[in-house]
Amino acid sequence: MGDQTPGGSPARLAPSEAFGWPASVQGESPPESPLPTDDAIFQLSMVTEALPRKTLAGVADPIAFGYTLSDITDPGLLEFQIRAMAAQLNDGSRPEQVFHWYGHPENNMAVALVPVQFQNRYGTRLHGEIVLPKRGQVQATAQKYPVILALQGLNTNTAMYRWWHQLFADAGYLVFAFDFSGQGRSDDEVEGDPNNNIEEAQDALSYLLGNSPVSQFIDPARIGVIGHSMGAIATMGLQAVEPRLKAAVAAAPISEIQSVFDNNPIPVMIQTGDHDGPIAPIVAVNPAVVRPVYEQLTSDRAFIVADAATHAQHTNYPLLPTSTWGREIAAQYSLAWMNYHLLGNVEALGVLQTAHPRLSYLWESEVVIGQDKRVFKSTGPALPQ
């Protein structure tokens, strides 16, 4: 969440234009009543108020003790989700792709976005979100800003990853996320467009550096890329062919078969969870199929496996189950990776070389920087008494 007023409500931020940035907006919320669901929402709110919250907030599976669906106890979030899913039937947000484009209310309020449109090399219109550093509350001309290019998963949209985008923006990065063609607010491919995610990522970066409303504020020598799932696959291929990139974080890039690359010129971190399957939370599958991808890396590299985290670890979509600490691990190590390799932050090196207590105890995590190699494996959760 953003800064708070003394009364506890989010503080009203000054317009980003006052600091020399383009005008920004928060994430879009669904209409108040897209369909006549008020009665259902009221009844659902009554039910959630009566639920055993402490029990539901820590529903334990047989292995991990911490696997949670805690959002289900929040009537306000349930109402938001119902309104968003109902709106999706009428607002053009691709109901066939399952996930609505309204994100999560907490992340919507915390982000400062500059919506943009651009075309890929084949003429397909793509939608993007420029996330301003420090929520647009820092002078645009104070420095040249490092950049994070963010690549999304299959059938998702930019709003599903706003927590991750804002993590970097709050740390002083300028973040650029966009919807691949045929996803989110982007158009379907025009005739002749082969739907190549790597090409689209390169086109997005070229637009950001050349024609975007923030191009003059960017440091082209400090650009990193993050991606999840399909976006992680694209990240692995992109880092091999895109010389403008200096570091990468690939979250759950699925497998060696999909993550094809023939070069590793930049530092790459791979993150996953030991409850992540290739496309579903199947215990222990993803670390096994992703480890061979990691073994191909030759530059500085890291393999971070979070205990009990699922494929939803890197998203902010409501009501998807994952471990309570999964996002904390993803944030801690991905930010430190970029802070060290893009900014030269020595303190970040210490973070990378320290084990989070809830890393996997089923799979080894590893960090290799230069000649220094650290291997981490937690002791596992304490059994209930």
Q: In angstroms, rounded to a whole number, what is the distance separating the alpha carbons of residues 88 and 206?
A: 31
Which residues, given as ranges, of the chain have pLDDT below 70? 1-11, 33-72, 278-284, 381-385
Q: Which of 101, 102, 124, 127 is nearest to 116 (CA)?
A: 127
Specify the pTM.
Answer: 0.90
At 58 the pLDDT is: 43
Cα–Cα distance measured from residue 273 to residue 278, given in angstroms and rounded to the nearest whole number: 11
Look at residue 319 in the predicted model and tell me its pLDDT.
83
Give pLDDT, residue 6. Answer: 35
Residue with tokens 């480890």: 291
pLDDT per position as a tens digit, 18-36: 999 999 999 999 987 644 5
For 91-122, the pLDDT digits (tens) are: 888 888 889 999 999 999 999 999 999 999 99
Q: Can you give the length of the chain in residues?
A: 385
Whether the Cβ atoms of residue 359 and residue 309 lie closer than 8 Å to each other? no
Q: Judging by DSSP bridges, how do beta strands 67-68 and 113-119 pair with one another?
A: unpaired
* pLDDT score of 67: 54
Task: Kindly tell me the number of DSSP H helices and DSSP E strands found in the chain.
Answer: 10, 12
- H or E segment to which residue 167 belongs: helix 162-170
Helix, strand and coil percent figures for the chain, each rounded to 5? 35, 20, 50
* Secondary element (H or E) of residue 201: helix 197-210
